[in-house]
Amino acid sequence: MAMSIQVVYVLFGGLLLLLVSFLSYLLIQKARLNAFRAKVESYKDSMKESLFIYLYRKDEEHRIEPKNKIELAGVEELLSGFSAAVQGDDILNNITLYAEKVFTPKYKKELHHSRWSVRMNALYAIEDFGLTTLTDQLLEMYEKKNSTAAEKNQILKILVKLNRPEFVMYMTNTSKPLSEFMYRSLFGTMNSEQFQQFINKFEDLQEEIQLPLIDMIGINRKLEYIDFLKVHMKSSSEEL
What is the average pLDDT score of the chain?
91
Residue 224 lies in a domain: yes
pTM for the model: 0.83
The last residue of one of the domains, among 55, 86, 117, is 86
Query: DSSP characters for 169-211?
Result: HHHT-TTSPPPHHHHHHHHHH--HHHHHHHHHTGGGS-HHHHH
Please check whether residues 189 and 156 belong to one and the same domain: no
Q: Which residue has the higher pLDDT, 5 or 48?
A: 48
Look at residue 24 and tell me whether its pLDDT is greater than 80: yes
What pLDDT band is residue 23 in, cutting at 50, 70 and 90? confident
CB of 50 closer than 8 Å to CB of 62: yes
SS3 assignment, position 56? helix
Quick one: pLDDT at residue 137?
Answer: 96
Residue 92 lies in a domain: no
Give the separation between CA 103 and CA 56, rounded to whole angstroms: 19
pLDDT in tens, 152-181: 999 999 999 999 999 999 999 867 789 999
Residue 8 lies in a domain: no
Residue 10 lies in a domain: no
CA distances in angstroms from 91 to 27, 136, 192, listed in the order given: 42, 25, 23
Please check whether residues 57 and 71 belong to one and the same domain: yes
Residue 161 lies in a domain: yes
Q: How many domains does the chain have?
A: 3
Question: Domain range spanning residue 216?
Answer: 175-240
Please check whether residues 144 and 158 belong to one and the same domain: yes
Q: Is 182 left (phi over 0), alpha (psi -120 to 50) or beta?
A: alpha
